[in-house]
Amino acid sequence: MSLVPETDFGTKAVHSDKTVTVTIDGQRIAVPEGTSIMRAAMELGTKIPKLCATDTLDAFGSCRLCLVEIEGRAGTPASCTTPCAPNMVVHTQTPRLKQLRNGVMELYISDHPLDCLTCAANGDCELQEMAGAVGLREVRYGQDGANHVSARTGGCDNHHYKAKDTSNPYFTYDPAKCIVCNRCVRACQEVQGTFALTISGRGFESRVSPGMDEPFMESECVSCGACVQACPTATLTEKKVIEIGQPEHSVVTTCAYCGVGCTFKAEMRGQELVRMVPWKDGKANRGHSCVKGRFAWGYSTHRDRILKPMIREKITDPWREVSWDEALLRVANEFRRIQGQYGKKAVGGITSSRCTNEEVWLVQKLIRAGFGTNNVDTCARVCHSPTGYGLATAYGTSAGTQDFDSIDQADVIVIIGANPTDGHPVVGSKLKRRIREGARLIVIDPRRIDIVETPHVKADYHLALQPGTNVAILTSMAHVIVTEGLANEAFIAERCDIEEYREWAAFVSDMRYSPETISPLTGVPARLIRDAARLYATGGNAAIYYGLGVTEHSQGSTTVMAIANLAMATGNIGRPGVGVNPLRGQNNVQGSCDMGSFPHELPGYRHISNDAVRKSFEDAWATTLDSEPGLRIPNMLDAAVEGSFKAIYIQGEDILQSDPDQTHVAAGLAAMECVVVQDLFLNETANYAHVFLPGSTFLEKDGTFTNAERRIQRVRKVMEPKNGKADWEVTQALARTFGLDWNYAHPSEIMEEVAALTPSFAGVTYEKLDAVGSVQWPCNEEHPEGSPIMHVDRFVRGKGHFVLTEYIPTEERTGPRFPLLLTTGRILSQYNVGAQTRRTENVLWHQEDMLEIHPHDAEQRGVKDGDWVKIQSRAGEIALRAEITDRVAPGVVYTTFHHPLTRANVVTTDFSDWATNCPEYKVTAVQVSPSNGPLQNQLEYEAFSRESRRIAPAAE
Amino acid sequence: MSRHEPFSVARTEELVAQHLHLEGPLLPILHAVQEVFGFVPEAAVPVVASGLNVSRADVHGVVTFYEDFHQKPDGEHVVKICRAEACQSMGGEELAAHAERCLGVSFGQTSADGQVTLEKVFCLGLCATAPAAMVNGDLRGRLSRAGVEAIAREVGR
């Protein structure tokens, strides 16, 4: 094995219909017009020396190494900034160029330490490589002149010298090694869009400066690492590389954090992960990543990982380590006993949106074919189930309509109930870049999220609505579009059911949806609603990006359909730059839904009652399947409390922390007789478990994840599972204990079964994924290479379906007792329940969940910044610290749910989406009052949690 | 009594607002900030950045690029002596050293009592009457040792 090769062409690819032909060192090449000489040369395999150029950044022309000679032109222009012109004859190596390059290198090296042998970048340093390439043999200036290298020079303190900045937990900044090529500064600006870096001073004083010459951690830096990746020397270096050394091989794999699905080169030394480097050919991330994917993987070797199976009789007992056989047999015996005693349907399971498609497939197969029940659900229940329902109803598929590259062609971007710069940072960066290029931005969100106003990006309209009024706002926007004659009649006539459209148009045109009527309800000025609607309808390609702020409401499904209506009514569907794009939360939540995790659907979103579909599975699996839908997660918990549901197998999901109304979830789990948890860590749900099966990380297994753009990407094993078995092997072993004759030798065999039984996956094979990198489903005979954009000529369901979206306010209302609305979300450095990110250095950015409260509401309650406050709802109460900010509107408070001891979900209620039971996390009426510290229930939970994690010492 | 106002966020915001309509308002704003406060205080940078919707780093890069933006308050008197080629050829370097001695302060520094700041400048456009200097904004040509001493007396040295 070796490092995955990646060619750096020096400058970006150019798209043009015209080509020009040039001759470089005697070789002719035709390139698109606008291509730099440097890139054209590299296409021929000719490396022109360079330091400040790299193909992820715009050409800069500062390092003066890439000079070339062009026949008929005076001077020696820089090849990175000079475009190819027709019939140009270029020479990249001449005596004159050699002399110039040597002279430049001498200057660089005269102010650079000569510690190559002990330098962390040794073997991966472009300066070193260039010194070799230009044939540098001596440095006439010596090393004793003015420099940035030595702390003392000529017996005095060297005021040019700056000590290494080690403030960031993941990388160091050593100004002594900096050649001021600007690549880090440009990466921060162009790729990440944070603008945290600059060059301070000028001339010899020039230095890379985070913020205002601050340490990295105090600057605006979000630690995405784009600068580290761009740095050609050891100036910005991963601490892991300093600690371990250079990697010797790498493997391309897919990130296990959010639904963006970034692909990385996992750079390894043996079985030790050295660093994750975003893969330039990754079609979801195009060589970029965020702090989580690039740096926050330390959890995979964290000491808290449980590596041996464990069992216990009662949840008050300490855990006892046992063999795999004993643990699996315990599960099989208990499930059989319970099914014998309470009936077949007294058991069920939950698939994991963090595990691979293949693993999800096996878990749902085990539940349906092994347990003989359809009681299977997944965490999408609590996040994007309304997306599945809403988009399937309107268009015919339960997924987003675009690929992420489509953003590059959007003219108007609408972000509703999503916080992409925090939740989906790589998409956030892509959106910001497009907005800097001139796209207009509409944000519909109760909070002033970062993208509303961040350096060089500003929303044209921010509709800061009251939580729970999405449907009102969107239907009102439809009102404006229809009544002002902005609908795309031609598109509607061709693509949609015209009768339904007319009915819908009449419905939205009613005065009760005029912005003037809706304004007082939502707190958004009528003018803003009108302006936003007009811009969406008339601003060119308009694309909607939305998140859980849309779905996690009692009207979640209605909101999704209201979004679908807007896109259809304006013809913004079926081509690049437009569409309806749910930003899926977890790495494989799209995949877990595709793989048949819902109690009413077999894989590929086909209803369980469909006899033909069911028969195909029954034939393949040699079993009979129940034709009745099973229980959803909340129904399982309700049934458990009632006494009819007794055992559950939960793979990689922490329902106790992540699901709403925690007290009820706890009661449900406590009422069960056998709770089986398969996870990396003793998570919160495991407090109530009787059997713990250790899980494996994404680094330890093969498989596939499907991201938010329906892109199926390979996950590749880079190290042996520390627990001895990949998760699919655990499920297979469990199935065999249940008497099922499963013999998958590799996840690719599971994918063969998926492809054989699921039409939209029919063309998916590991061979294809290895060959083309990734495909977007549907991938079948009709679309052999997958489908980047859906509904191109017609909607999957046939005619687009307009649904009347009546606004019905949630039952959860504010009143004198609970006057504020709580909404929940997450932040950049932490991920979901935090089980992974809390076990990394990311805690330096976010140690605890805080309650954001507006200064006005805080003052009324005598709350100061950093004070402990109690937050009460009808469901429960907790305490946490307050952060006073006008990011939230008066009347709205906000918190995250990353830390289990906060117990944020004690407060959220059991209200849920009418169609899918997706919980209403985003609206809870609460009161906030000063507190002295954590509440009794939090302290008790902490004690209980500690108690229930005890592991008995191994018997001699 | 200083001729400058003490720094305030509100005043900085006002200065930002006054120039926001200009194309490329950053430099005019920084000039105004320096005019009013006598220098560009570090605390002004985030205010200017937020007013222009750019990052702190963006503004800091510009402030530190230009020699004429000062990050610390100047002395009561500012003496700038040209160190460029024409003045050098007319004995400017020796005068510069003399100025350091007479004023009791090195180039780029402000005296401990806050009375005088000595700065180097690269060409005042007075090459024909080199060596040249500038004292509190007034130009001086054909500078001699006696002239430097006169300047020292003028600024209270």
Residue B2 pLDDT greater than 70, yes or no? no
Size of interface A-B (CB pairs under 8 A): 56
pLDDT given for residue A645 in this prediction? 97
CATH of residue A452's domain is: 3.40.228.10
CA A598 → CA A73, A214, A361, A377, A385, distances in Å?
68, 50, 11, 5, 9
> Across the interface, do B57 and A202 touch by the CB < 8 Å criterion?
no
A675 contacts A660 by C-beta, under 8 angstroms? no
| φ and ψ at residue A298, rounded to 5 degrees | -65, -20
CATH of residue A912's domain is: 2.40.40.20
Q: Which of A106, A134, A162 is the last residue of a domain?
A: A134
Residue A273 in any domain: the answer is no
Q: Which of A194, A197, A200 sits opposite B64 (nearest CB)?
A: A200
Alpha-carbon span B64 to A75, nearest angstrom: 32
- How sure is the predictor about A341, in pLDDT bands with cuts at 50, 70 and 90? very high
pLDDT in tens, A416-429: 999 999 999 999 99
Nearest residue of A to residue B49 by CA position? A455
- How sure is the predictor about A832, in pLDDT bands with cuts at 50, 70 and 90? confident
**HEC states along A32-69?**
ECCCEHHHHHHHCCCCCCCCCCCCCCCCCCCCCCCECE
Residue A724 in any domain: the answer is yes
How many Å lie between the alpha carbon of A49 and the closest alpha carbon of chain B?
Answer: 28
pLDDT in tens, A500-518: 999 999 999 999 999 999 9
| φ and ψ at residue A588, rounded to 5 degrees | -130, 35
* A220 touches B at CB < 8 Å: yes
* B49 touches A at CB < 8 Å: yes
Specify the pairing of strand A924-930 against strand A601-602.
Answer: unpaired
Judging contacts by C-beta atoms under 8 Å, the chain A residues touching residue B60 are 198, 200, 209, 211-213
Choose between B84 and A1: higher pLDDT.
B84
Mean pLDDT confidence for A766-772: 95
B38 contacts B2 by C-beta, under 8 angstroms? yes
Q: Are residues A324 and A452 in the same domain?
A: no
In angstroms, how far is the first alpha carbon of chain A from the final one? 42
A668 contacts A636 by C-beta, under 8 angstroms? yes
Of chain A, the percentage scoring pLDDT greater than 90 comes to 89
pLDDT given for residue A639 in this prediction? 96
pLDDT in tens, A780-793: 988 999 999 999 99
pLDDT in tens, A271-293: 999 999 999 999 999 999 999 99
CA dihedral A285, A286, A292, A293 (to 10 degrees): 100
pLDDT given for residue A947 in this prediction? 92
Q: Are residues A744 and A596 in the same domain?
A: yes
Q: What is the set of domains in chain B, with CATH numbers?
A: 9-65 (no CATH), 77-154 (3.40.30.10)
- How sure is the predictor about A869, in pLDDT bands with cuts at 50, 70 and 90? very high
Contacts of residue B105, Cβ cutoff 8 Å, sequence gap at least 6: B111, B116, B117, B118
Residue written as tokens 């040209």? B82
Nearest CA-CA partner of A873 in A848, A913, A910 = A910
pLDDT in tens, A885-926: 999 999 999 999 888 888 888 888 888 888 888 888 899 999
> Across the interface, do A198 and B53 touch by the CB < 8 Å criterion?
no
Judging contacts by C-beta atoms under 8 Å, the chain B residues touching residue A456 are 53-54
Greatest Cα pair distance in chain A: 92
* A886 touches B at CB < 8 Å: no
CA A894 → CA A7, A120, A385, A890, distances in Å?
45, 43, 23, 11
CATH of residue A113's domain is: 3.10.20.740
Residue A247 in any domain: the answer is no
pLDDT in tens, A597-614: 999 999 999 999 999 999
> Across the interface, do B64 and A220 touch by the CB < 8 Å criterion?
no
Q: Which of A563, A582, A601 is the last residue of a domain?
A: A582
Q: Which of A535, A557, A582 is the last residue of a domain?
A: A582
* B155 touches A at CB < 8 Å: no
A567 contacts A573 by C-beta, under 8 angstroms? yes
- How sure is the predictor about A661, in pLDDT bands with cuts at 50, 70 and 90? confident
Residue B1 pLDDT greater than 60, yes or no? no
Q: Tell me the two tokens of residue A580.
A: 């309806």
Contacts of residue A445, Cβ cutoff 8 Å, sequence gap at least 6: A415, A416, A417, A418, A419, A452, A462, A463, A464, A465, A549
- How sure is the predictor about A956, in pLDDT bands with cuts at 50, 70 and 90? low
Judging contacts by C-beta atoms under 8 Å, the chain B residues touching residue A194 are 55
Residue A380 pLDDT greater than 90, yes or no? no
pLDDT given for residue A659 in this prediction? 86
Q: Are residues A514 and A537 in the same domain?
A: yes
How many Å lie between the alpha carbon of B153 and the closest alpha carbon of chain A?
Answer: 32
Contacts of residue B74, Cβ cutoff 8 Å, sequence gap at least 6: B38, B39, B110, B117
* A200 touches B at CB < 8 Å: yes
Residue A503 in any domain: the answer is yes
> Across the interface, do A202 and B64 touch by the CB < 8 Å criterion?
yes
pLDDT given for residue A572 in this prediction? 97
| Count of domains observed in chain A | 4
Nearest residue of B to residue A207 by CA position? B61
A626 contacts A370 by C-beta, under 8 angstroms? no
Q: Which of B45, B54, B65 sits opposite A455 (nearest CB)?
A: B54
Judging contacts by C-beta atoms under 8 Å, the chain A residues touching residue B53 are 453-458
Write down the H helix ranges in A677-818: 727-737, 747-757, 766-772
Residue A725 in any domain: the answer is yes
Residue A347 in any domain: the answer is yes
> Across the interface, do B49 and A455 touch by the CB < 8 Å criterion?
yes
Judging contacts by C-beta atoms under 8 Å, the chain A residues touching residue B71 are none
**A932 burial class (0-12, 13-18, 19+ CB within 10 angstroms)?**
exposed
- The DSSP code sequence of A565-589 is HHHHHTT--SSTT-EEEE--SBTTH
pLDDT given for residue A495 in this prediction? 94
Greatest Cα pair distance in chain B: 51
Query: In a mutagenesis test of the B interface, which of A160, A208, A212, A458 is the best target, namely the one with the most B β-carbons within 10 Å?
Result: A212
What is chain A's mean pLDDT, rounded? 94
Specify the pairing of strand A877-884 against strand B77-82.
Answer: unpaired
* A13 touches B at CB < 8 Å: no
Alpha-carbon span A491 to A574, nearest angstrom: 11
DSSP A595: T
Alpha-carbon span A941 to A935, nearest angstrom: 10
pLDDT given for residue A89 in this prediction? 98
pLDDT given for residue A828 in this prediction? 85
> Across the interface, do B57 and A210 touch by the CB < 8 Å criterion?
yes
Contacts of residue A435, Cβ cutoff 8 Å, sequence gap at least 6: A413, A441, A457
> Across the interface, do B57 and A196 touch by the CB < 8 Å criterion?
yes
Q: Which of A199, A219, A453 sits opposite B53 (nearest CB)?
A: A453
* A192 touches B at CB < 8 Å: no
Residue A228 pLDDT greater than 60, yes or no? yes
Collapsing DSSP to helix, strand or coil, A213 comes out as coil
Residue A127 pLDDT greater than 50, yes or no? yes
Query: In a mutagenesis test of the A interface, which of B60, B63, B66 is the best target, namely the one with the most A β-carbons within 10 Å?
Result: B60
pLDDT given for residue A471 in this prediction? 96
Amino acid at A602: L
> Across the interface, do A202 and B65 touch by the CB < 8 Å criterion?
yes
Judging contacts by C-beta atoms under 8 Å, the chain A residues touching residue B61 are 198-200, 209
A862 contacts A843 by C-beta, under 8 angstroms? no
How many Å lie between the alpha carbon of A181 and the closest alpha carbon of chain B?
Answer: 15
Residue A658 pLDDT greater than 90, yes or no? no
Q: How big is chain B, counted in residues?
A: 157
* B56 touches A at CB < 8 Å: yes
Alpha-carbon span A945 to A8, nearest angstrom: 51
Q: Are residues A453 and A571 in the same domain?
A: yes
Nearest CA-CA partner of A187 in A319, A254, A278 = A278
Nearest residue of B to residue A459 by CA position? B53
Q: Please confirm whether the linkage preceding A175 is cis (ω < 30° from 0).
A: no
Q: How big is chain A, counted in residues?
A: 956
Mean pLDDT confidence for A130-153: 92
Nearest CA-CA partner of A65 in A40, A102, A12 = A102
Residue A746 pLDDT greater than 70, yes or no? yes
Alpha-carbon span A181 to A198, nearest angstrom: 12
pLDDT given for residue A660 in this prediction? 84
How many Å lie between the alpha carbon of B54 and the closest alpha carbon of chain A?
Answer: 4
Amino acid at A400: G
pLDDT in tens, B75-88: 889 999 999 999 99
Q: Are residues A357 and A411 in the same domain?
A: no
> Across the interface, do A201 and B65 touch by the CB < 8 Å criterion?
yes
Q: Are residues A489 and A606 in the same domain?
A: no
Contacts of residue A115, Cβ cutoff 8 Å, sequence gap at least 6: none
Q: Are residues A569 and A612 in the same domain?
A: no
Q: Are residues A471 and A530 in the same domain?
A: yes
Q: Are residues A628 and A769 in the same domain?
A: yes
Q: Are residues A340 and A408 in the same domain?
A: no
Chain-centroid distance, C-alpha A606: 27
| φ and ψ at residue A2, rounded to 5 degrees | -145, 180
Q: Are residues A489 and A368 in the same domain?
A: no
* B120 touches A at CB < 8 Å: no
Residue A527 in any domain: the answer is yes
* B114 touches A at CB < 8 Å: no
> Across the interface, do B64 and A196 touch by the CB < 8 Å criterion?
no
Nearest CA-CA partner of B90 in B131, B128, B125 = B131
* B42 touches A at CB < 8 Å: yes
> Across the interface, do A195 and B58 touch by the CB < 8 Å criterion?
yes
* A342 touches B at CB < 8 Å: no
Mean pLDDT confidence for A30-46: 97
Judging contacts by C-beta atoms under 8 Å, the chain B residues touching residue A212 are 42, 45, 56-57, 60
Judging contacts by C-beta atoms under 8 Å, the chain A residues touching residue B45 are 212
B26-37 and B56-65 are packed helices; what angle lies between their axes, rounded to 10 degrees? 70
How many Å lie between the alpha carbon of B79 and the closest alpha carbon of chain A?
Answer: 22
pLDDT given for residue B49 in this prediction? 97
Q: What share of chain B is helix, strand, coil (3-state, %, to 5)?
A: 45, 15, 40
Collapsing DSSP to helix, strand or coil, A249 comes out as strand
B136 contacts B87 by C-beta, under 8 angstroms? no
Residue written as tokens 């909070």? A447
pLDDT given for residue A904 in this prediction? 86
Nearest CA-CA partner of B50 in A824, A455, A213 = A455
Nearest residue of A to residue B69 by CA position? A201
Residue A570 in any domain: the answer is yes
Q: Are residues A552 and A668 in the same domain?
A: no
Mean pLDDT confidence for A756-784: 93
Judging contacts by C-beta atoms under 8 Å, the chain B residues touching residue A156 are none
DSSP A385: H
Question: Where are the strands (E) in A247-380, listed by range?
Answer: 249-254, 263-269, 272-278, 310-311, 320-321, 347-351, 376-378
Residue A955 pLDDT greater than 70, yes or no? no
* A500 touches B at CB < 8 Å: no
pLDDT in tens, A457-467: 999 999 999 99
Of chain A, the percentage scoring pLDDT greater than 70 comes to 100
Domain that holds residue A621: 310-383+588-776
Q: Which of B53, B54, B61 sits opposite A199 (nearest CB)?
A: B61
Chain-centroid distance, C-alpha B64: 13
